[in-house]
Structure 1
Amino acid sequence: MIRAALISSARQALRAGALAIAALAVPAGATEASTLNAQLSGDLAVHDPVIAREGDTYYVFSTVGRYIGVKMSRDLKRWTDAGSVFAEIPAWAKQAVPGTEGIWAPDISHVNGEYRLYYSVSTFGSNRSAIGLATSPTLDPKAPGYRWTDHGLVVMSTPQDDFNAIDPNFVTDAQGRQWLALGSFWSGIKLFALDPKTGKPMPGAKPLSIARRPAPAGGPAPIEAPFIIPHGGWYYLLASYDYCCKGVNSTYYTVVARAKAITGPYRGKDGSEMMRGGGTIFLRADLQEQQRYRGPGHAGAFTDRDGTTYVVYHAYDRQANGAPVLRIAPIRWGADGWPVPET
């Protein structure tokens, strides 16, 4: 599909901008700035990031290189490279999606004493795509027992389907039921009920539609990268609109909507429906007079031990040749219950 080709451009930008990112990194020990984003330094080259914490270490997983790159930090500020999850594309994925060249858009969660990593494989110009699952007892590469075990196919889409099986996000609802949100372009964002024992769809589970953007006459209206945050009796759905992966010309931005039930209906502050392309802007590019970080999107979130929820996302750095870089911001929950990222 369209995004498959755009990811290739993003990877080229990562390589082209790596030296520029290093040169722009804030030196360790520098005076603290007013926002967390202003304090980020080290290896910030990411795309489609998600974040988790184990012990005293934070881990970011992202589309970088070909096999899900990992970054590590002790303080959420200084980041170092920690290799990749996979050494190669799993054999089942090559068979299911012939011609696939990489692994994209991971999601990380801690479930039943182990870490679940959902990931995407796809090809150019098609929604022949698949989501796989790998697990590990720990995220620490130096810990005893560290090993990612691949469990194969979770969800697949083909040209006969009206959705695209990439961009997974695992979530547990208030009743303890497990779900997987996913989707990119096509008919939008879907939700699958999962079997908690396997992390895969319940037998006979059908995709539920929770967000879409009706296409205008002139072409597609992109929507992708769902992430659901349970908070305060609500479910908050993040999704990215418009186009990623074009460097500083990326038009990506992130919207948020909420619902009382995880299955929806999701509506923005103004009541606009996510099933009609609505929602409230959550992340958008720097103001025109600043122009540095463009196309913020593919947002994920996690809640730290102190109760602070952070949103992690990528944006394209004009001062690093348009390379996608890591961005992290704490979320402030407003008196009206809506999240506001402190970017």
Structure 2
Amino acid sequence: MGARMLRLSVGAALAVASSGGAQSRDAPTLNSRITGDISPTHDPVIAREGDTYYVFSTGGRYILSRTSKDLVHWTAGKPLIGELPDWVAKAVPGAKDMWAPDISYVNGRYRLYYAVSTFGSNRSAIGLFTSPTLDPNAPNYGWRDEGPVLMSTNDSDFNAIDPNFIVGRDGKHWLSLGSFWSGLKLFRLDPETGKPADPAAKPYSVARRPAPAGGPDAVEAPFIIDRGGYYWLIASYDYCCKGAQSTYYTVIGRSKQITGPYLGKDGSKMMEGGGTIFIRADLPEQDRFRGPGHAGVLRDKDGTDYVVYHAYDKTNAGAPTLRIAPIRWGADGWPIAEY
């Protein structure tokens, strides 16, 4: 994983293989114990520095922060950035918010990739801030604006939001991104700048959902991890942002090459809307947390992998809520989220 600390109609869903059951709903899961300032949390990403876990997420105008010492008790912090950089107004007129942060540690500094856009538009941009530490009490703490990374326009066939950074096994740096339009893309980065190595190069396509007649291409929020000789692409299918009516769910596929092709356990192609279900909504008899998606992964110091995501709480007016689950890797090599 290098520097990384780490939505389907009913008919289509039947064609997507399940990765196996989640942990019994009667068992004391991490999600059943998580408490504190966990809502509103949308598009979360998680990292650990020292003895502190950090979750960054979309919320309000700026990137929200939360911390915990044990993954259970969470405390809200101040927004990371107090205002949009000056370049945003020209790049994305009308943008007023920062969305979908991604955090990684590269060359002695943390890289916070984030998106600026307006809802439903693909005139969007990815920006970058860096800081030597995540600890706001450290004397050297402070986020530096590194400017725009890449942009999409109304003429682009992709949407430059939902960034995720990864270093490949060969040392090459990559940024995946995308939401709707023609699906998820992968860009090669310059390791020094964290920006495209060749601004003129076309991105690789790694996932797409062929849209129904007159409908949208409902796939977004890529996140890639490296484990067991495979790259694993996590993505969100269907619709977020509708509270408890959200139909989001999370799928996963794997590939020997970071550029794909990514396949589900049954061989279904993520470039054709396939993949294996990784996180689904609560079972109907529970029916509380709906639309789980925009997942990220943390590999902790003890080797345990955790998946962080948001889901909409029906008992709290559909508020987007922080969810975290350990990942168990099955005998067949496939991950099972114990949520």
What TM-score does the superposition give when structure 1 sets the normalisation length? 0.90
Partner of 2:306: 310
Matches within 5 A, 1:118-137: 118-137=113-132
| Amino acid aligned to 2:34 | L
Pick aligned residue for 2:271 from 271, 275, 279: 275
SS in 2 for 1:336: coil
Partner of 1:5: none
Pick aligned residue for 1:289 from 285, 292, 295: 285
SS in 1 for 2:90: helix
CA distance in 2, matches of 1:128, 1:341: 34
1:216 aligns with 2:219: no
Residue 41 of structure 1 deviates from its aligned partner by 0.4
Residue 218 of structure 1 deviates from its aligned partner by 4.0
CA distance in 2, matches of 1:144, 1:92: 28
1:227 aligns with 2:223: yes
SS in 2 for 1:262: coil
Residue 205 of structure 1 deviates from its aligned partner by 3.0
From the two aligned structures, give the one with the greater helix fraction: 1
Partner of 2:177: 182
Partner of 1:8: none
1:173 aligns with 2:168: yes
SS in 2 for 1:48: strand
1:158 aligns with 2:153: yes
Greater RCO between the two (CA within 8 Å, min separation 6)? 2
CA distance in 1, matches of 2:57, 2:120: 22
1:265 aligns with 2:248: no
CA distance in 1, matches of 2:55, 2:48: 9
Residue 221 of structure 1 deviates from its aligned partner by 3.3
Partner of 1:196: 191
What TM-score does the superposition give when structure 2 sets the normalisation length? 0.91
Deviations 1:82-139 (A, max 9, x none): 1111101111112100100100000001111110000000013421000000000000
Matches within 5 A, 1:64-103: 64-103=59-98
Residue 181 of structure 1 deviates from its aligned partner by 0.2
SS in 1 for 2:88: helix
Please report the RMSD computed on the Cα atoms of aligned residues, expressed in angstroms: 0.8
| Amino acid aligned to 1:185 | F
Pick aligned residue for 1:333 from 309, 329, 334: 329
| Amino acid aligned to 1:267 | L
| Amino acid aligned to 2:296 | G
For structure 1, the residue ranges without an aligned partner over 5 or more in a row are: 1-32
| Residue pair 2:181, 2:217 contacting (<8 A) in 1 also | no
The sequence identity of aligned pairs, in percent, is 69
Partner of 1:37: 31
CA distance in 2, matches of 1:124, 1:332: 35
CA distance in 2, matches of 1:109, 1:67: 18
CA distance in 2, matches of 1:293, 1:125: 25
Deviations 1:174-219 (A, max 9, x none): 1111100000000000000000000000023321101000111141
Pick aligned residue for 1:249 from 245, 248, 256: 245
CA distance in 1, matches of 2:292, 2:168: 27
Partner of 1:12: none
Matches within 5 A, 1:4-83: 34-45=28-39, 46-83=41-78
CA distance in 1, matches of 2:259, 2:113: 20
SS in 2 for 1:217: coil
CA distance in 2, matches of 1:332, 1:155: 35
CA distance in 2, matches of 1:228, 1:115: 18
Deviations 1:129-156 (A, max 9, x none): 0000000000000001100001011010
| Residue pair 2:183, 2:217 contacting (<8 A) in 1 also | no
CA distance in 1, matches of 2:109, 2:328: 29
| Residue pair 2:182, 2:217 contacting (<8 A) in 1 also | no
Q: Which moved more, 1:50-59 or 1:200-209?
A: 200-209
SS in 1 for 2:43: coil
| Amino acid aligned to 1:169 | N
